[in-house]
Amino acid sequence: MQTTISSGLNKVIIGDEQPVVLIGERINPTGNKKLAAALLSDDMNIVTQEAVSQVKNGADILDVNAGMADVDEIILLPRMVKEIMKSVNAPLCIDSNNPEALRAALKVYKGKPIINSVTGEERSLQTVLPLVKEYQTAIIGLTLDDDGIPMDSERRIAIAGRIINRAEGIGIPREDIILDCLAMPIGSDSQAGLVFLNTIHAVKAKFGVNLTLGNSNISFGLPDRNAINRIFLAIAMALGVTCPIVDVTKIRLAALIADLALGHDDFASRYINAYRASL
Ligand code: THG
């Protein structure tokens, strides 16, 4: 299954037969204190810097999140989107749980973005899916619902199925649905990694959809987070993750090596080029 994402000038194809597509995570005030401080003082320079540096380090798509206390996402998110479109050609993954902020960002975006995200919660399904349909975007579906995040794969798989049904029911093609089976910190629950991995394996087999992963979530609170993130990413890619959200400045080489191991890098040329560029 292939999902095509675009900016005004660039097209990215996500699929099982393709090299992994890396979504850069760093434009997110919750996970980037410097950015949070800059945004509060109305300074957009760091947004540009983070966009340029992530693309230089191999990001194919950029996640953009404006969610923080004391700011109006409906104003800030489209401003950030415009700022990023001026500085790089990478397509965007627009990250908000506020449908009005998503709409405001979609109004200024050029191309076909990913909306991050819809959940199995009734309110989310009813407000976000119509936007996906209207603007013909791709969508990330999170496997949680009105009862919260299930800690067993069976219920996560059931929610994945429900999100797909509801989306297809209003004419959103399955190709445009990307599932996120929710990687939670393994430092606070030793089974969180395994539940995620079992779920993606089953969701891929059952529905064939593209899969994302919030790679850095897994290592919260543990030492040497980058090492954990790299290994977890490789396992997740082996089980079907095709477009993880990552700190590309830290894990790109691991992603290339995993691609090489999975037969996605003919003549090892992408790996060799990246290695040479790193010398
Ligand atoms: N799934 C989907 N979207 C997501 C997530 C997900 N979006 C947000 C998040 N999870 C993924 N993004 C991040 C971004 C940063 C971090 C974790 C996840 C992070 N940052 C360091 C920290 O907070 O300690 C950075 C420190 C810094 O540079 O300031 O861990 O799961 N669909």
Whether the CB of 54 sits within 6 Å of ligand 1? no
Whether the CB of 96 sits within 6 Å of ligand 1? no
Whether the CB of 176 sits within 6 Å of ligand 1? no
**Burial call 164-181: b when 16+ CB within 10 Å, e when fewer:** bebbeeeebeebbbbbbb
Distance 33 CA to ligand 1 centre (A): 11
pLDDT bracket for residue 177 (50, 70, 90)? very high
Average pLDDT over residues 48-71: 96
Supply the mean pLDDT for the chain: 97
The span from the CA of 79 to the CA of 68, in Å, is 15
Distance 63 CA to ligand 1 centre (A): 10
Percent of the chain with pLDDT over 90: 98
Residue 278 has pLDDT above 90, yes or no: no
Distance 218 CA to ligand 1 centre (A): 10
Whether the CB of 25 sits within 6 Å of ligand 1? yes
165 and 157 Cβ atoms separated by less than 8 Å: no
Token pair, residue 214, equals 């919030």
Whether the CB of 116 sits within 6 Å of ligand 1? yes
Q: Residue 59: count other Cβ atoms within 10 Å of its Cβ.
A: 27
Dihedral sign, CA of 14, 278, 227, 30?
A: negative
Distance 244 CA to ligand 1 centre (A): 11
* CA dist 65 → 57, 78, 215, 217, 279 (Å): 19, 10, 16, 15, 33
Q: What is the pLDDT of residues 207-264, one digit of tens each?
A: 999 999 999 999 999 999 999 999 999 999 999 999 999 999 999 999 999 999 999 9
Q: Whose CA is nearest to atom 18 of ligand 1?
A: 216
Q: What is the pLDDT of residues 107-157, one digit of tens each?
A: 999 999 999 999 999 999 999 999 999 999 999 999 999 999 999 999 999
* Nearest atom within ligand 1 for CA of residue 28: 14
